[in-house]
Amino acid sequence: MSEHTITVAGVAIDTRHWIGGERVASAQTFPDVSPIDGSTIGGISRGTAMEAAAAVAAAKAAFPAWAATSRAERARILHAIADGVEKRIEELSIVETTDNGALLRSHRRGVMPRVAHNFRFFADWLLKLEHEDFETRGHTNHVSWDPAGPSVLITPWNAPLMLATWKVAPALAAGNTVILKPAEWTPLTASLLADIAAEAGLPAGVLNVVQGYGSEIGDALTSHPDVRRISFTGSVPTAKRIAESAAANLTPLSLELGGKSPLLVFADADLDLAVDLAVEQYDNAGQVCLAATRFLVEESVAEEFTRRFVEKAGQLTQGDPRDAATDIGPNIHPLQLEKIDGFVQRAVAAGSRAVIGGHRKDGQYYAPTLLTDVAQDSEIVQEEVFGPVLTLQTFATEDEAVRLANDTRFGLAATLATGAPERAERVTAQLVAGTVWTNCFFVRDLQAPFGGSRHSGVGREGGTWSFDFYCDLKNTVTSPNGWNNHG
């Protein structure tokens, strides 16, 4: 076994970058630590501007041939990648659980199958991507999607492989070449993806994977003049730096950022359903950008809602995410745990009350928390915590509910619980959000547009919207005159 190989639950993982179809080591490494027990998994090649330049050069060199590859052949290779993912679902699941602490059962049942589906969906969508020709004064307009070029994809740690392939799959389907930079806290499954893609026959240089810290390699990628698209999922401050970096080259951006989404519970709602939706917000230890972390509950049912919520949340089991009985695992990193606890302690000091939780547990685990007596303009209501911390406020009228729901700088998602279709129609029309769920949560379809409003993001991806971003759209206008009839 190579000095650059580590093993997780019997799965061998190369810790080097994947550039131009070859493994490339860096002079330095950085530690990858499991949030489950704080153990060091291994040292990962720590990329710099040198590796960034090499990856972009490889992507640029591979772009003409990949862009010229037929849609059918691109789709075939994407399906082959999906086949490779499906063959390794168990391996990918245990590696990612070890790396980011999310539930093993969730990876097996939902997350890794979704990774394969990401490739299959965009492969199939590519084959039916078209715009009907239309006429202008006898001239024919034909719309086409041309590959844009090398694309830098920077992905988060909360669902590493699923969110990476949400970007990689449409970028490759569009005919672009890719430089994937996974989050430094969760780099392992991206390395395995490089192996799977190579085994599936993806040409060298079409997918490159580089690892490291944003300040050391990310800036070099996003400022590179040969990069034609940048897609990023993460925090607002990092997005601002990326936007500044990309501005010099006018590189188009897609940004999916933070959220502070509301769950509106009206008195006419099915209260058991509303409570189920509320408890679901602790999924992935609260590390979900779409989570409805602000409960807005009509005054007349607030007490009963809270009682039922506390009872149901008390049934959750927190512990080792590899255990099938576990409902909530650890938080990703000591720095994130410190951030979460800081939010809670400042809120309590300002007068909030922890109905449940409000404290750390052993290791990197934070107790599921619900805070009441929170002011609308307080930090805990206005800022994203990204942990198992929820707040509860009450409202008296529908107008007040909408006002409170929209009163943050974010606009990623919103969830609504009501028994009245007319109310649902009125309220959802007024909510500022990229996605609104009514009497459900986290129902996602890849053909739907996805993204956020305000500080929750720029642009939309999914279905044709993904191809609109990863491609240069072209309209070709043809005159009926001027043909020489030479056949």
**Is residue 289 annotated as part of the catalytic site, yes or no?**
yes
The catalytically annotated residue of 216, 256, 298, 461 is 256
What's the token pair of residue 254?
Answer: 């897609």
Among 115, 241, 229, 299, smallest CA distance to 467 is for: 229
CB 293 within 8 A of CB 385: yes
Among 92, 70, 97, 68, smallest CA distance to 81 is for: 92
Residue 101 three-state SS: coil
Report the interhelical angle of 398-406 vs 421-430 (nearest 10°).
30
**Is residue 256 annotated as part of the catalytic site, yes or no?**
yes
Largest interatomic CA distance in the chain: 84
Among 106, 81, 428, 465, smallest CA distance to 256 is for: 465
The letter for the amino acid at 428 is: T
Radius of gyration of the chain (CA): 24
What's the token pair of residue 164?
Answer: 């990476």
Among 270, 200, 224, smallest CA distance to 419 is for: 270
Compute CA distances 65 → 20, 81, 178, whole Å. Answer: 14, 19, 14
Could you please report the per-residue DSSP string of 269-280? S-HHHHHHHHHG
CB 26 within 8 A of CB 47: yes
Instruction: Report d(CA 21, CA 62) in Å as an integer.
Output: 10
The catalytically annotated residue of 184, 289, 298, 384 is 289
- Which positions ≥6 away from 282 have C-beta within 8 Å? 313, 316, 327, 328, 368, 388, 390
Which residues, in sequence order, are bridge partners of residue 147? 471
Could you please report the per-residue DSSP string of 453-484? SGGGEES-BSHHHHHHHHEEEEEEEE-SS---
Among 337, 355, 350, 357, smallest CA distance to 376 is for: 350
Q: Which residues are catalytic?
A: 256, 289
